[in-house]
Amino acid sequence: MERKNAWKGYDEEKLAQVDALAKDYMRFLDSSKTERECVDTIVNEIEAAGYRELSVLEKEGKKLSCGDKVYAVLMNKTIVLFQLGTRPMTEGMNILGAHIDSPRLDVKQNPLYEDSDFSLLDTHYYGGVKKYQWVALPLAIHGVVVKKDGTTVEINVGENEDDPVFFISDLLIHLAGEQMEKKASKVIEGEALDIIVGSKPLADEEKDAVKAGILKILSESYGIEEEDFLSAELEVVPAGKTREAGFDRSMILGYGQDDRVCAYTSLKAMLEIGQTDRTACCILVDKEEIGSVGATGMQSRFFENTVAELLDLCGEYSELNLRRCLAASNMLSSDVSAAFDPSYASAFEKKNSAFFGRGMVFNKFTGARGKSGSNDANAEYVAHIRSIMDEAGVAYQTAELGKVDVGGGGTIAYILALYGMNVIDCGVAVLSMHAPWEATSKADVYETKCGYVAFLEKACL
């Protein structure tokens, strides 16, 4: 059952649409390298499209009705959008759910130190990374520093052409004989992922003069002192803009495509749909890369609580109606899949792999080895999804995450499935997943957006 390459079916008009969406997606990636930046970018876009914040409507005592568009934000790191349908919410919603956190390095709470006339920041890696991939790269620092008086200072250094960048040093090959004998997981240790931030001593300082110079710059530029690192959230990410890849410009190379490519296409689908029968929902959450834990992760009650508030403003709330709404819903867990890589073919089972250019990817199940930790979609739901995609002319494929005894991974699917709703994983195939720079196909991004639109408008199981 080999799937056709989507590129072969595009005429000039469709090619222009694919390229326009890709350019807008690249802009989104460049403005959204952290969860906070992602939420800010999304809020600006959806408010321009007529969405209103749920908490504001609650204070105003507004009642909601068919066609209304609302959103809610939690701690500036998680956001959920709703467009009310013509049917009662107790008949369920059509939900797109993705995550907006990505693997990175987090600056520790007591990070700044000096060693051998270098000033460095100590980091702790976030999510599943190959640590050796993060050395000898230009890096940027994004995030916030919150001072004791509640003032929030935004930090974004390393992205503009005239900004300085930062880096983690690597051992020169001439002295790396012993290092080269180590396992890949040990070539670079976690505690060695400290970024170099300066080397010029402050002239009138005797001790830790380089560190003193950095603190002087931080004070003059941002009004912060060393103690303020205690209440900071600073993320270290690859510096630089997303780029088109290949002589044919058919691919996109950029940081954070797992899973912001699915967040972006879900957002675009929400903004593109017309009036729907069932309420359309898009939830974009934090903390998936570390187990969906914490207040802003999918395991929190934020989504459930927000649906309860929405039901109340629609005049439908009761505990039973909340349960009925969630159980009757359909969901696409919008997360990326592993693209077949011919350079590492032995890790894949080719018949059940996702390929660049063959459209959006459905993973009936995820998990590891014996489907451990998996959400496994039922056959009736898969058949319903197939029918929707075929009717809409969406290019799609099915896949597993590598060979049975090799692959494995998880998404937020199993958490929503706890309500009894239909859930299946689907998204975009990614090459070099979790690397500082990941690659996707423009065609797959386009087909996934089209598939999400069709799902929001047509799913009714």
Q: What is the CATH number of the domain that holds 199?
A: 2.30.250.10
Q: pLDDT at position 310, please?
A: 97
Band the pLDDT of 404: cuts 50, 70, 90.
Answer: confident
DSSP states of 158-197: SSSTTS--BB-----GGG-HHHHTS-HHHHS-GGG-PEEE
Q: pLDDT at position 405, please?
A: 85
| Domain assignment present for 216 | yes
Percent helix, strand, coil in the chain (nearest 5)? 35, 25, 35
Band the pLDDT of 331: cuts 50, 70, 90.
Answer: very high
236 pLDDT above the threshold of 90: yes
Band the pLDDT of 204: cuts 50, 70, 90.
Answer: confident
d(CA 316, CA 397) in angstroms, rounded, equals 38
DSSP states of 71-111: EEEETTTEEEEEE--SS-GGG-EEEEEEE----EEEEEEEE
Residue that is last in its domain, among 178, 209, 238: 238
Q: What number is the average pLDDT over the span 51-62?
A: 94
| Domain assignment present for 213 | yes
Q: pLDDT at position 371, please?
A: 84
Q: pLDDT at position 281, please?
A: 98
Q: What number is the average pLDDT over the span 85-112?
A: 97
Q: Tell me, what DSSP letter sits at residue 431?
A: B
Band the pLDDT of 342: cuts 50, 70, 90.
Answer: very high
Tell me the C-alpha to C-alpha distance, in Å, between residue 298 and each of 34, 233, 266: 17, 20, 16
Q: What number is the average pLDDT over the span 153-170?
A: 97
Domain count, the chain: 2
Please state at what angle helix 442-458 crosses helix 379-392, rounded to 10 degrees.
110
Q: What does the angle CA 253 – CA 254 – CA 257 come to, to the nearest 5 degrees? A: 105
Is the domain of 194 the same as that of 96?
no
Q: pLDDT at position 381, please?
A: 96
Percent of the chain clearing pLDDT 70 (strictly above): 100
Tens digits of residue pLDDT in 125-143: 999 999 999 999 999 999 9
Is the domain of 303 the same as that of 383?
yes
Is the domain of 158 the same as that of 93?
no
Give me the helices (H) in 314-419, please: 319-327, 379-392, 413-417
408 pLDDT above the threshold of 80: no
Is the domain of 189 the same as that of 325?
no
Is the domain of 97 the same as that of 109?
no
Band the pLDDT of 318: cuts 50, 70, 90.
Answer: very high
Is the domain of 288 the same as that of 436?
yes
Residue that is last in its domain, among 213, 238, 263: 238
Which among 86, 51, 96, 85 is positioned nearest to 69, based on CA atoms? 51
Q: What is the CATH number of the domain that holds 315?
A: 3.40.630.10
Q: pLDDT at position 285, please?
A: 98
Element (H, E) at 37: helix 35-48
Q: pLDDT at position 22, please?
A: 98
Is the domain of 259 the same as that of 406?
yes
Is the domain of 186 the same as that of 210?
yes
Q: pLDDT at position 401, please?
A: 86
Q: What number is the average pLDDT over the span 383-408?
A: 92
DSSP states of 335-361: --EEBP-GGGGGGS-GGG-B-TTS-EE
The pTM assigned to this predicted structure is 0.96
Band the pLDDT of 309: cuts 50, 70, 90.
Answer: very high
282 pLDDT above the threshold of 80: yes
374 pLDDT above the threshold of 90: no
Q: pLDDT at position 205, please?
A: 79
Is the domain of 229 the same as that of 264?
no
The end-to-end CA distance of the chain, in Å, is 26
| Domain assignment present for 157 | yes
Q: pLDDT at position 410, please?
A: 80
Q: What number is the average pLDDT over the span 74-84?
A: 98
Percent of the chain clearing pLDDT 90 (strictly above): 92
Which amino acid would we find at residue 111? P
CB-based contacts of 29, cutoff 8 Å, min separation 6: 242, 254, 255, 256, 257, 260, 264
**398's tokens:** 């099915």
Q: Tell me, what DSSP letter sits at residue 279?
A: E
* Host domain of residue 231: 105-238
| Domain assignment present for 245 | no
Is the domain of 405 the same as that of 279?
yes
Which among 270, 234, 232, 236 is positioned nearest to 79, based on CA atoms? 270
Residue that is last in its domain, among 210, 238, 266: 238
d(CA 213, CA 216) in angstroms, rounded, equals 5
Band the pLDDT of 373: cuts 50, 70, 90.
Answer: confident
Band the pLDDT of 60: cuts 50, 70, 90.
Answer: very high
Tens digits of residue pLDDT in 445-461: 999 999 999 999 999 98
Q: pLDDT at position 194, please?
A: 98
| Domain assignment present for 309 | yes
Is the domain of 79 the same as that of 113?
no
| Domain assignment present for 198 | yes
Is the domain of 88 the same as that of 208?
no
| Domain assignment present for 246 | no
1 pLDDT above the threshold of 80: no
78 pLDDT above the threshold of 80: yes
Mean pLDDT, the chain, whole residue set? 95
218 pLDDT above the threshold of 80: yes
| Domain assignment present for 190 | yes
